[in-house]
Structure 1
Amino acid sequence: MKWMSRATVNLFLVIAALYTLLPLTWLLFASTKTLDDLYGTPGFAFADFSLIDNIRAVSSENGGIFFRWYLNSVLYAGAGAAVSALISVMCGFAFDKYAWFGKEKMFGLVLLGVLVPTTATALPLYLLASKVGVVNTFWAVFVPALVHPFGVYLSRVLSAGYVPNEVLEAARSDGAGEVRAFVRVALPMLLPAFVTIFLFQFTAIWNNFFLPLVMLNDQHLYPLSLGLFTWEKQGNAFPEFHTLVITGSLLSVVPLLIVFMSLQRFWKAGMTAGSVK
């Protein structure tokens, strides 16, 4: 009976994994096809293998602007996720280990921020950016990505479980200041929180579409999501853009796979270390 239940769970997980990988599998097949093969062959079947030609077409379109979008997305997502994760860990640590007037009320506002969808804040952010004068700049997309209420909540929870007060008191007794105690003692213990928030934010910023759509009109500042959208709109008049969008979408998945595969072991190791400590 136990064997049957385990087999049922594993079968369900396999089906869920296959279902999740279905769009990516179709994207892999479609990116190897010419425009004629795209509409003239089954979706999950190879035709003439034209992936290299499609990548060359993507690279040469509009002076190679696709890779400018690629670099923009790496900057938005990579730097934004790293800074956002650090800010979230610092805030979560402060909420957990320090006491000040109105702390719980302020933390309630943070939790309220978790419930607000990012699309609902796009217009207020645009109005603020227009007042400051940073609309249609790198900072209009980068700065809002640094705020991550769920990351603050997660960091507070993990700080309470992973960072014993006794360890901080011992560091202070040895003469460490608050900043040094956080950097040398607390931050290594909060590595699972940092990596988790980084992965969440990297994925969210990489896939962010609505905020760049509102903030930017210079195509040299576009991230991949917005750039591919402009190509897709042109596909209504010029069908050859459909193959460019499909190939570009496949290439856009590569950084996400690299980040998750490279950080997975650090994530697991950090969680194990945190549980021991």
Structure 2
Amino acid sequence: MSAADSSLLRPKLLGPATVNVVVAVSVLYTLLPVLWLVLASAKNRDALFSSDLLSLSDFSFLQNLKDLFAMDGGLYGRWYVNSLLYAVLGAAVGALVSVACGYAFDKYRFRHKEKLFGLVLAAVMVPQTVLALPLYLMASEAGLVNTFWAVFIPVLFNPFGVYLGRIFARGYVPDEVLEAARVDGAGELTTYARVALRMLGPGLITVFLFQLTAIWNNFFLPMVMLSDQDLYPVSLGLYQWNSSASVSPEYYPVVIMGSLLAVLPLILAFVLLQRFWRSGLTAGAVK
């Protein structure tokens, strides 16, 4: 085949039909586990392993839901509230901290600024599991092990959020606007809180969603820090129930139902905040 023929063939291989097939396969690959979760959550323990999931028989969705919140004295409800506190409150405070740090890196001059920011970028590449043991030792020295704060405090600081905060500050907050606020007599805190922070709204939402997803799915840090079941998040609690299911099969339906409910807050957050999410992702894309 000549070079001319291959050049004519290449656009056809990368045409709309090929792209649509790749997108359809990707969507199917993503949605199949969710579909299985929805169908399996409506089956009782016996039907879960013996019948066709697509069958409408052995429907026990409501019974599984009741069993979920009644299992082990209603522990799942406590775990769910814990996860909401860890994730929503932690993501909100963490987003504010990250964006403020990113704003400072972009708008202020101080010694070794770029070197410090280089350390932030290096910290992005450090896996969170590597930090679990040092964080445990520090929490142990402070007497925070097996407390709410042992999980909540570490999630407030996110190097990737600081990096995004600097990008958003550069893309959304013109220096001329800050200078105008200073000329009008506003201090640095007033300028940031009343001017810059409002312009950084899409950036805050984007960092918040990243933080929310990471904290909600956080598993290893709570497993290291916590031994009290009343402090478990949903991820760790469902893992414990799933480990017990091989001995007590009655845990299987509630684990599946609990997993289905566990994905709802993330879906709801992305649906409600997707408008800000889209605009935040394009920050700095157009000069």
TM over 0.5: yes
SS of 2:29's equivalent? helix
Alpha-carbon distance, 1:257 to partner: 1.0
Q: Aligned residues: percent identity?
A: 58
Give me the TM-score of the superposition, normalised by structure 2: 0.91
Residue 36 (structure 2) aligns with: 26
User: Which of 179, 200, 203 is the aligned partner of 1:193?
Assistant: 203
Q: Is 1:153 aligned to 2:153, yes or no?
A: no
Structure 1 distance, partners of 2:119, 2:281, is 28
Maintained 8 Å contact 1:192/1:274 = no
Alpha-carbon distance, 1:272 to partner: 7.5
Q: Is 1:235 aligned to 2:245, yes or no?
A: yes
Deviations 1:189-217 (A, max 9, x none): 21222111111111111111100000000
Deviations 1:94-134 (A, max 9, x none): 00000101111111110111000101100000000000000
User: Which of 123, 129, 142 is the aligned partner of 2:152?
Assistant: 142
Question: What RMSD over aligned residues (CA atoms) do the two structures have, in Å?
Answer: 2.0
Deviates more, 1:141-150 or 1:38-47: 38-47
Q: Is 1:73 aligned to 2:73, yes or no?
A: no
Residue 172 (structure 1) aligns with: 182
Structure 1 distance, partners of 2:214, 2:280, is 22
Q: Is 1:211 aligned to 2:221, yes or no?
A: yes
Greater radius of gyration (CA):
2
Which structure 1 segments of 5+ residues have no match?
none
SS of 1:100's equivalent? coil
Q: Give the length in aligned residue pairs.
A: 277
Aligned 1:1-277 pairs, distance under 5 A: 5-268=15-278
Structure 1 distance, partners of 2:217, 2:63, is 26
Alpha-carbon distance, 1:46 to partner: 4.2
Structure 1 distance, partners of 2:274, 2:36, is 25
Structure 1 distance, partners of 2:171, 2:281, is 11
Structure 2 distance, partners of 1:23, 1:38, is 15
Structure 2 distance, partners of 1:133, 1:242, is 36
Instruction: Write out the 4+ residue segments of structure 1 that deviate beyond 6 Å after TM superposition.
Output: 271-277
